[in-house]
Amino acid sequence: MAKKKAVKRKSLYREIHQTVTDADGNTTTETKREEFSVGAEPPFIKLYINDIIALHNLKGKSKDLLLQLIKLVDFENYVTLSPRKRKSICKIIGIKETGSTLTNTINAIIKAGLMKRVSWNEYMLNPDYFARKKWFEMHELQVEYITMKVTYTEDGKRIVENEVKIKDGEE
């Protein structure tokens, strides 16, 4: 019988401060420290990009562009598209860099909830799907980025609701 490899878990801590005022006006503050852990990165993470593309109905050049953007993501989950990078990507995926073709393709990816525009030529990939960080560091990014709710109706229709969270200083 083969031995199971132990899963490394990273312990994290969170402090919760709660102030309560009773009916007599007495105020008490309680502090609770919780420990939680995040498991190791699942092995299938690298293999599911095509499923994400299919689930979000990205077609044609939007799919091709997303695959190129994933290659450019930095360790903060941002992609910066300089004019040189735009030209190179357009050549690779076979679209015109002038006009609205690239802009429309980028907007399709944003509309699908797979990235958001942070500033001119700078985008953040949705950390629920894509990341270039250690697995346990992703929770902080996910909390900052987006909340997604997927609901299926009785007739099989899929409803996706996204709430993009923007930190102070971002557009």
Pick the CATH number of 45-164 from 1.20.58.1690, 3.30.70.20, 1.10.3720.10, 1.10.10.10: 1.10.10.10
Whole-number pLDDT of residue 170: 47
Whether 106 shows a pLDDT value over 90: the answer reads yes
Whole-number pLDDT of residue 171: 47
Whole-number pLDDT of residue 161: 72
Q: At what angle do helices 83-93 and 60-72 cross, to 10 degrees?
A: 130
Whether 144 shows a pLDDT value over 60: the answer reads no
Q: Write the pLDDT tens digit of every residue in 112-140.
A: 999 999 998 999 998 878 877 665 566 56
Whether 164 shows a pLDDT value over 60: the answer reads no
Q: What percent of the chain has pLDDT over 70?
A: 68
Average pLDDT for 88-112 = 89
128: CB partners within 8 A, 6+ apart: 142, 145, 146, 148
- Of 13-22, 60-69, 102-111, least confident by mean pLDDT is 13-22
Q: Write the pLDDT tens digit of every residue in 12-35.
A: 677 777 788 888 888 888 888 877
Average pLDDT for 61-85 = 90
